[in-house]
Structure 1
Amino acid sequence: MPSSDYYFKEDYTIVPKPRAVVYRDRNNQRKLMRLNELHKFSDGTLTRVIEKLDQMVKDFHLFEYNKGMETRKWSEDDKRRSKDFITAIEKRLQIRRIYRSLESFVGAG
């Protein structure tokens, strides 16, 4: 997939190749968050993306969040990919919390 093709995807859509999610940053610009590059994103960005994906997984209605896709039903693959992305982001955030905790422990001595 050429890098510009994600501009035609709706926000918070999981792109299978490369494994990524389309999201909007704080400046309302469309960005691509690749699964293998989660370490590059801030905790705040990861948290915003995970919250939006979590809402979508729980509601099971993609059209409520992406008005341009009203006629498209959210497939089981969409749900599974979103859950996989949520799991990966949660693991990344947990690792960061552990490192911060260890740094404060070691730094306190």
Structure 2
Amino acid sequence: MQSRADALFLKRGDLKWSVVDPINEVAAYDHPDRAGLQISDAVAGAFYAAVSGDSPNPQFACALKPRMTLDRHGNIFGYGLKLMPDGYLKRAPSHHRLLFDFYLRKK
């Protein structure tokens, strides 16, 4: 709905709907059946552990740095790692900043 109304809440871009067939190409799968879903769960879990709970642990999220996608200038932050909503970094608590500052540094 937001996409059709050109009213996206998150301003990080929209899908290119001309290349998506939601009837024939979008499906739900159990994670044990798809290695890609298991990988995305591991990455999401690493970043969740880095910023949540009483004792956040950025160790695993930081260990992913060599596998992160870089833009043409060698930046990970904003390309291979995107924060949403926009402007979050400005108000992030200090224990979140440790992780994000790590990814702001060049490789």
Quick check: TM above 0.5?
A: no
Instruction: Answer with 1 or 2: which has the greater Rg.
Output: 2
Bigger fraction of residues in strand: 1
Q: Scaled by the length of structure 2, what TM-score is found?
A: 0.31
Bigger fraction of residues in helix: 1
